Structure 1
Amino acid sequence: MNPWLFPWLGMFKGPLSGDVTQDISPITSLLSPQFEFNFAGDRSIESEVVADVASYGKQLGILSEALIEIAEGKQGDALKRLQKLTIEIEAVKDRHKDKLEQTVKADLDKLKKDDPEKLKQLIDEYR
């Protein structure tokens, strides 16, 4: 080895030679990136609400306008927008409940076909 290269070796990083904590998702959206900070509930429901109903900023704006309206003793458009937003969010939640029910039913049907005894044990466990 050439001793003149050793001082320069610290400047170069090879693959996996540093702090490797990047989340690599197989599904990317290059044209419309969205940053997910902290989901308190069901991630799929919250991401659908943010993507299809209203962003966090939009939700906060509607809520703030409605709160100011109520504080001033009025009931106008801002309160109606908040009620509409609430209805749309509940509709997304209901759709996800239906999807969950369909998924569970399909899985139970498969278990019934593949291993009926295991299905009986599972049902008895939940009684």
Structure 2
Amino acid sequence: MKSLTNPFSFNPFIWHWPLSGDVKDISPTTTWFSPQYEINLAGDSAIEKAVVTQVASYGRQLGKITQAVLELADGESGDAIASLRKMADDINAIKQHTLAEKIEADLMRLKQQDNAAYEALLKRL
């Protein structure tokens, strides 16, 4: 153990392998696959974040899918199927809401950057 008075003291009876020894808690910065970090291989990151935070985590989504598949394999149509349908409806509602927000934001940005193009687009719509 290191002496508090001399941080460079050496004790031959204490061995610390690489990545061992005194380690501070770094959990707030290592919450991988959390909505705080964007791991977005495909799709819209805003939609992914909303789905994970408002509907169900990835694990919970997978669990519902697994239960529904097992019910179908057993020839049943019970609570797991109904829960999966509800989750799908909630996700579709978020997608539609997020899409509308994105379109509105894009229109406002177009109006600020090129008002003539904005007016022309409104006439076409």
TM-score bracket for this pair, using the shorter chain length: 0.5 to 0.7
Contact 2:47 2:98 in 1 (8 A): yes
In the alignment, which residue of structure 1 is the partner of 2:58? 56
Alignment partners' CA distance in 2, 1:61 and 1:55? 10
Given residue 85 of structure 1, which amino acid in structure 2 is its aligned partner? M
In the alignment, which residue of structure 1 is the partner of 2:47? 45
Structure ranking higher in helix proportion: 1
- TM-score of the two chains, using structure 2 as the length reference: 0.61
Alignment map for 1:80-91 (pairs within 5 Å): 80-91=82-93
Given residue 53 of structure 1, which amino acid in structure 2 is its aligned partner? V
Task: After TM superposition, give the deviation of residue 37 of structure 1 in Å.
Answer: 7.1
* Cα 1:71/1:37, change in 2 over 3 Å: farther
Q: How many residues align?
A: 88
> Match for 2:102 among 96, 100, 103?
100
- TM-score of the two chains, using structure 1 as the length reference: 0.60
Could you give the per-residue CA deviations for residues 66-122 of structure 1, whole angstroms, max 9, x where no partner exists? 000001110000000000000000011001111011112112222344xx3xx38x9
In the alignment, which residue of structure 2 is the partner of 1:69? 71
What SS does structure 1 have at the residue aligned with 2:92? helix
Given residue 55 of structure 1, which amino acid in structure 2 is its aligned partner? S
Q: What is the CA RMSD across the aligned residues, in angstroms?
A: 2.6
Contact 2:38 2:45 in 1 (8 A): no
Given residue 79 of structure 2, which amino acid in structure 1 is its aligned partner? D
Specify every segment of 5 or more residues in structure 1 that has no aligned partner in the other structure, as ranges: 1-29
Identity among equivalent positions (%) equals 32
Alignment map for 1:4-15 (pairs within 5 Å): none
